[in-house]
Amino acid sequence: MLRYSHFYDFIAKLILVALLVACLFIIRPDYWESLMVAQWGLQAGMAKFLMISFVCILVVPLLWFVYLPWLSPAAAWCYLRFSLKTPVSWEVAKQVESLFRPTLKRLHWFPLKELKNLAPEERTSTLLRFFDQLQTPSSQNHN
């Protein structure tokens, strides 16, 4: 199941899945499984387990080096620019991209559709203020 927060996040995750599939075609798991069985004397089940483990480990670098620094900010930039009509730079999109996808700290995202009701020149500053408010712990949490 592919979980996504908005259309552009869906496209970014489809690109990530396509990259993973391309990696699988390049790696050719069936070839390596048969090689492990023939050369190392492993049972077929153990070779398949090792390949599944390897593929799971392959997902982490794709997430870390492709999705988080490039695809997620690109999805946030597109969402802000095209859906919310908010003129933001790439740097701002990279800074606030965690608002538009669930994270380990919170399982929801912020659609921020209210931005469209503001004047275009106020949208970016309001977005950054909202992001800063979420980043700084309030004094109520410390009591």
DSSP state of 137: P
* 118 φ/ψ sector (left φ>0, alpha ψ -120 to 50, else beta): beta
- Nearest alpha carbon to residue 17 among 73, 55, 69: 55
Name the pLDDT band for 12 (thresholds 50, 70, 90): very high
pLDDT on residue 133: 92
Torsion sign, CA atoms 72, 75, 80, 81: positive
Whether the model pTM is above 0.95: no
Largest CA distance in the chain: 68
Provide the Cα torsion 16, 110, 138, 89; round to 10°: 70
Instruction: Tell me the pLDDT tens digit for each residue of 59-115.
Output: 888 888 999 999 999 999 999 999 999 999 999 999 999 999 887 777 788 999 999
pLDDT of residue 143 exceeding 50, the answer is no
pLDDT of residue 132 exceeding 90, the answer is yes
- Nearest alpha carbon to residue 79 among 46, 33, 133, 116: 116
pLDDT on residue 21: 87
Instruction: Tell me the pLDDT tens digit for each residue of 41-60.
Output: 989 999 899 988 988 888 88
